[in-house]
Structure 1
């Protein structure tokens, strides 16, 4: 998604963001950089270090499986408890991982700058759980394995849609995190936000109907994408320190 670099400062509630000078075009928050490196390290170890049998154990114990919740929880130890989050740290291929990293850089960076790494940790866990929460409704009892940070990425996109578009519809790449958070009504009447949200949902519906394939991860859990996006869009205010 291309971003227009505004010549004037965005809506900053009087904080004078423009006076802070220009930032490099590629300047990620340290917390986000650490997360991306961790995701890459996990996939590197699974791909090149762990033997296949041990990697299958990793998938069994850390991926999300809808069928798990049709079995007596007492027979599974505590695996059912952490897999709604731990699945988001695993990926099916380098293409899958790179695809998620690309969008996390684009939309995760302004969210992290706005809410900080501590709130991001909570946001990550809850958006991951919300994503598979919607997914499991449509795939109850299935043995299909769900892995990848796509649900969290979708949550970050939903959250970003609430503030990266100023009332004028423009995006300032450097200072988007300082914009005023738009109300639901403002977001849904903001032309840029509405077009972005519409294209996002259309893309995921096309994926759901098998018309479009994205991310290089085989079967796409598009319902999880929608669950994550709705979580970020509807509940971002609870994480937003700017009020």
Structure 2
């Protein structure tokens, strides 16, 4: 998940009605796996990524390691990668979990992550670079948030040299801008490593289209 450092989302203005237990659990799981990564040698970390990250060329071939479509979303390539993802999950996840409940939210999150990984494989089936990170699943949460809370407000930090500027924008405009940015960036991406734009776009669309099936009766 990339965060535009020229405009950083801080929080939304919709209070959660319940403690976001599933969001906390997913943040904890991702942080725990990353802590394990930090304790590995460079060779061991490479072996971990080789086994559990999604590699499009392998998944598009014979006997694909299907499990990597799920395991890849709990791996991260560095501190900024991890913190950027979990920050976006923290901002948008609590309200979506409110409407779904913890169990359904986790199922929705994992499904969006799986479909996001599959989107990256479909977009770049010959790519041999590892695809990893929670950003596709979190993009699904963002897509659901757009559908359910389009009139929500997002407080943004705009750094102006040493003078921070705070602005509030609609959730609809911020999330639509983010999605369009992923699509445009992905159209210029040859699938040679870096940001998995197709996974972001695929996860977002999955969340936008599938969220209703996970809403609990109220």
TM-score by length of 2: 0.78
For 2:43 and 2:127, how far apart are their aligned partners in 1? 22
- Structure 1's unaligned 5+ residue stretches are 7-21, 174-190, 212-217
Aligned to 2:62: 72
Determine the structure 1 residue equivalent to 2:114. Answer: 129
- Is the 2:152–2:171 Cα contact (8 Å) retained in structure 1? no
Matched, 1:204 2:182: yes
Residue 52 of structure 1 and its aligned partner are, at CA, apart by 2.2
Match of 1:220 among 176, 183, 195: 195
CA distance in 1, matches of 2:53, 2:12: 38
Task: Report the Cα offset of residue 38 of structure 1.
Answer: 1.7
- TM-score (normalizing by structure 1): 0.70
Aligned position for 2:81: 96
Query: Which of the pair has more CA radius of gyration?
Result: 1
Give the Cα–Cα distance (whole angstroms) in 1 for the partners of residues 141 and 152 of structure 2. 19
Structure with more strand by fraction? 2
Which runs of 5 or more residues in structure 2 are unaligned? 1-8, 156-168
1:91 to partner: Cα distance: 0.5
Which whole-Å CA distance do the structure 1 matches of 2:179 and 2:19 have between them?
Answer: 27
Number of corresponding residues? 194
RMSD: 2.9
Equivalent pair of 1:28/1:105 in contact (CA under 8 Å): no
2:130 is equivalent to residue 145 of structure 1: yes
